[in-house]
Structure formats: C-alpha cells, structure tokens
C-alpha cells in the first residue's frame, strides 16, 4: 500500500473560466479527496468514494481547508530577492540603482546559493510550487538555482539572463558568449529531473541585434525550450526601444526579426501594446505574463486582461520578484483583481485562481505536469486555510456559498493562509 488520501474541500478546473460563465469551468467537492501514489495524482472525487476505493491508504484530513494545485509563478527574478520593496524608482532607474548592483553579487557561487535557497523557501511558504525565473548573466547563478530547486524536487524553469549593452561591464557578455553559455546550461539542465530551461534575453534595450539573433538561432536549434523576456512594460522603455531599433515596426518586431517570437515564447508585462503586436502574439500563440504588483509598484500601467484574453492569448500570472512587492500569489491575485476593476473588467475568483495555477502552467507549457489536480499530474498541492486571520474569518463567516467564502482569502490572504504544501506528494511545510 503506497496511496495517500488527502481530505478537504477540493477545487479543480474542467475548462477555461475566461470562456463563458467562470463557475461552469470549475468543479468543487465540499467533502472531497485527492488520491496520491508515487508522487502523482491518481484520482480526485468525493471523500466517501475515494476512501471506499482505497481502504488501506494513509489518510490525511485537512478538514474544511481548500486543496488546489500549487501556485505557478510565471515570471520572477530570484536574484532580486534581497532588494524587493526598494523605494521609489521606475524601471530604468530600478535596474541601475538596485538590480544591477545586486545581480553582480551572484557571480559569487556561495552568495548565489544562499539567495536561491532563500527565494525558493519563501516561494514554498507562500504556496508556490513552480516558478519561472530569470537568473543573472553569470552561469553560477543558473546552476545555483537549479541545484536548489532539485534539492526540493520542485518543477522550475530558468535561464541565464543575456545582456551585451546598457548594463555594467560585470554583467555584460557578447553575442557569442550568450549563445555558448546558454547552450551549455541548456544541455546540462533542460529535462534534468524537473528542471526546464528558458533562453533568456533580458529585453531589447540590453541586447544588441546581434545578440538577439544569436539567441534566436539557439532557440531555432532547440525549439522545445521556452524563451522568456520583457515586452512593453513602461512608456519610456518603449520609446527607448524605438531609438535603439529605428528600423523595427514596434517593440515586438525587435524580437520577431531575431527569431524570438514563437508559441513557446513568454513575454512579461506587455502593457503598452500596439494593435499589430496584439495581432502577432495571437497569431503565433505566444503567452503573456501579467505582473500586477510590479506594474503598480514601479508605475508601469494597467494590463488589459479582458482585451487580451478576448484575442485568445494565453496569459500567466506572476509576482515579478523583486520589482513586484510581494512573494505571495494571493497578494498577486488581489492586485490582478484591483487592476481589473480599474480597467472596468473585474475578475471572478475562479479566473484569479485559474491564472495562478493552470493558466500559468499552460503559459509555461507545463500543464501536463503542474498547475492542475488532473490524473497523472504531479502531486504539487497547496492547502489553504480560508479563515487564517480574524479579519478573513469574520468575513468568511458571513459567506453565501463557496466563492463568497474563498474570495476574502484571495483579497486579504498571505502566507498565514497556507496551511500545507505538498511537492510530489511530500509535505514540505
């Protein structure tokens, strides 16, 4: 007997809650169970049925807590862990004042290991079981991150951040080094255990056309990999790109010309998009990543979720540590709701939870392994206490139905709401 049965309220998705009534895309078991065997989800359903089918299984009863897929954070910068919530800068000043000086320090393997360990422990404490991270330009930072994730058996995506201009000399490489070091790291880590590699130009302002083309060539050689970068985060950034690439149609064209636009591409922020850019992103099936706490914290703007989802564009959700001001995907969902309100299109709780789990997993092309409670998926599970603080509890006490009970935790919850986290079926908190 190897099965384990987790009891509690169960939430899983049967479809995309952005298509039709969000509630119709969900299935709730108020007295449900998740059956786990050898780190995988075997079955979910009513608790009585699951216990009858697996009478000899180990049973862990989470009572009224909510069991759902572990959160998937689709865009982070783990090297920025120790500069999170730094005061008063917009994007370019943020990079020069805080990010670049800190990223230089991660050339030290011991320092990189310490940051990677701290970051992943903070992510797990907040219920996040999978992250997609930018590293620094130093290969040591990539190795440190993948090793730390492997020691925790976490499914992660990461890559060496490539830059050959408009950054300190200690962080810049060359087109050839970017290609060579990325390829070496890709060959070492992509598919090693639960690790996946993402080819990672930081963004067009810090990569020459030659470097972008070198990374585009690598992606053409290894199309099974993801490619992650930034796109149209701030108005002054877009204007800067226009001066750096005067022949380009727009910001997205700087990537497309270099072979860096594709279905497995991840484009963070994507706030100030031109109509042509939206058309092309939709046509190729690329994914965007919404970073709401970052977009407000450094004054970037409002991501138009409803408009972009109406174009059938895949969207993930992310904290964007450390431009984002929280490690918590709960806080990130709250910020996404607030931005939706400002855009006149508030999101339903089902849509928020989808973005933080299966939606992000689909953006990362990892939904067959993480982000769901589907049969065969890894048993990466987050257990939420829906009454974790007095403020939340008094509100939940007056709830009218399931979604009304869940919503206060999405709006006011933090790491105190995370009762337990399972990685491949093993409790880690």
Q: What is the mean pLDDT of residues 115-124?
A: 98
Read off the pLDDT of residues 176-215 as tens digits, 9 standing for 90 and up.
999 999 999 999 999 999 999 999 999 999 999 999 999 9
Burial of 394 (0-12, 13-18, 19+ CB in 10 A): exposed
Token pair, residue 350, equals 């089902």
Least confident range from 92-106, 150-164, 232-246, 358-372: namely 92-106
pLDDT at 371: 98
Residue 2: band (very low, low, confident or very high) from pLDDT cuts 50, 70, 90:
confident
Percent of the chain predicted with pLDDT > 70: 100
Residue 1: band (very low, low, confident or very high) from pLDDT cuts 50, 70, 90:
low
Beta bridge partners of 59: 5
Read off the pLDDT of residues 261-299 as tens digits, 9 standing for 90 and up.
999 999 999 999 999 999 999 999 999 999 999 999 989
Beta bridge partners of 384: 66, 418
State the Cα–Cα distance between residues 71 and 123, nearest whole angstrom. 9
User: What secondary structure letter does DSSP report for 70?
Assistant: P
List Cβ neighbours of 286 (8 Å cut-off, separation of 6 or more). 261, 262, 263, 265, 266, 267, 313, 314
Phi, psi of 333 (to 5 degrees): -65, -40
pLDDT at 397 over 80: yes
CA 211 to chain centre: 26
User: What secondary structure letter does DSSP report for 232?
Assistant: S
Read off the pLDDT of residues 83-114 as tens digits, 9 standing for 90 and up.
999 887 777 888 889 999 999 999 999 999 99
State the Cα–Cα distance between residues 37 and 43, nearest whole angstrom. 10
Question: What domains does the chain contain, in order, with CATH numbers?
Answer: 4-70+372-427 (2.30.40.10), 71-363 (3.20.20.140)
CB atoms within 10 A of CB 426: 14
pLDDT at 93: 85
Token pair, residue 183, equals 């390829």
Residue 147: band (very low, low, confident or very high) from pLDDT cuts 50, 70, 90:
very high
The CA radius of gyration of the chain, in Å to the nearest whole number, is: 21
Its pTM stands at 0.98
pLDDT at 429: 86
Quote the mean pLDDT of the chain: 97
Run of H or E including 269: strand 265-269
Is the backbone peptide bond immediately before 322 cis, with ω within 30 degrees of 0?
A: yes
Token pair, residue 231, equals 């796109």
Q: Which of 265, 266, 313, 365 shows the shortest CA–CA distance to 18? A: 313
Q: What is the mean pLDDT of residues 229-254?
A: 97
pLDDT at 426 over 80: yes
């Amino acid at each position: 007997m190897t099965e384990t049965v987790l009891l509690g309220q169960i939430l899983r998705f049967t479809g995309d809650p952005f298509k039709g009534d969000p509630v119709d895309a969900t299935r709730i078991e108020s007295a449900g169970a998740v059956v786990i065997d050898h780190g995988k989800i075997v079955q979910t359903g009513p608790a009585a049925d699951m216990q009858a089918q697996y009478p000899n299984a180990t049973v862990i009863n989470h009572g009224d807590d909510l069991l759902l897929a572990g959160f998937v954070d689709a865009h982070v910068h783990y090297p920025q862990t120790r500069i999170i919530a730094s005061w008063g800068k917009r994007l370019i000043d943020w990079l020069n004042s805080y990010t670049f000086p800190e990223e230089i320090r991660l050339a030290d393997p011991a320092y990189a290991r310490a940051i990677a360990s701290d970051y992943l422990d903070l992510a797990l404490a907040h219920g996040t079981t999978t992250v997609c991270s930018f590293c620094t330009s130093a290969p040591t930072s990539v190795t440190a991150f993948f090793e730390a994730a492997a020691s925790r058996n976490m499914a992660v995506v990461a890559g060496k951040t490539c830059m050959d201009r408009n950054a300190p000399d200690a962080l810049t490489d060359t087109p050839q080094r970017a290609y060579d070091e990325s390829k070496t790291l890709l060959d070492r880590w992509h598919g090693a255990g639960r690790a996946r590699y993402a080819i990672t130009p930081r963004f067009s302002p810090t990569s020459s056309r030659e470097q972008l083309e070198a990374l585009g060539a690598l992606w053409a050689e290894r199309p099974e990999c993801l490619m992650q970068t930034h796109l149209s985060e701030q108005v002054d950034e877009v204007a800067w790109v226009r001066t750096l690439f005067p022949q380009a149609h727009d910001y997205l064209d700087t990537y497309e010309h270099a072979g860096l636009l594709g279905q497995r591409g991840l484009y963070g922020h994507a706030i100030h998009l031109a109509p042509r850019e939206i058309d092309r992103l939709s046509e190729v099936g690329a994914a965007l990543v919404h970073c709401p706490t970052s977009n407000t914290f450094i004054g970037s703007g409002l991501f138009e979720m409803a408009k972009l989802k109406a174009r059938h564009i895949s969207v993930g959700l992310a904290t964007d540590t450390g431009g984002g001001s929280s490690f918590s995907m709960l806080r990130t969902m709250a910020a996404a709701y607030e931005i939706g309100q400002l855009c006149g299109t508030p999101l339903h709780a089902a849509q928020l939870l989808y973005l933080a789990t299966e939606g992000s997993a689909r953006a990362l092309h990892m939904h067959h392994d993480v982000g769901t409670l589907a049969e065969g998926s890894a048993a990466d599970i987050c257990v939420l206490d829906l009454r974790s603080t007095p403020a939340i509890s008094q509100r939940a006490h007056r709830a009218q139905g399931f979604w009304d009970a869940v919503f206060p935790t999405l709006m006011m919850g933090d790491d105190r709401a995370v009762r337990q986290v399972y990685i491949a079926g093993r409790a880690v908190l």
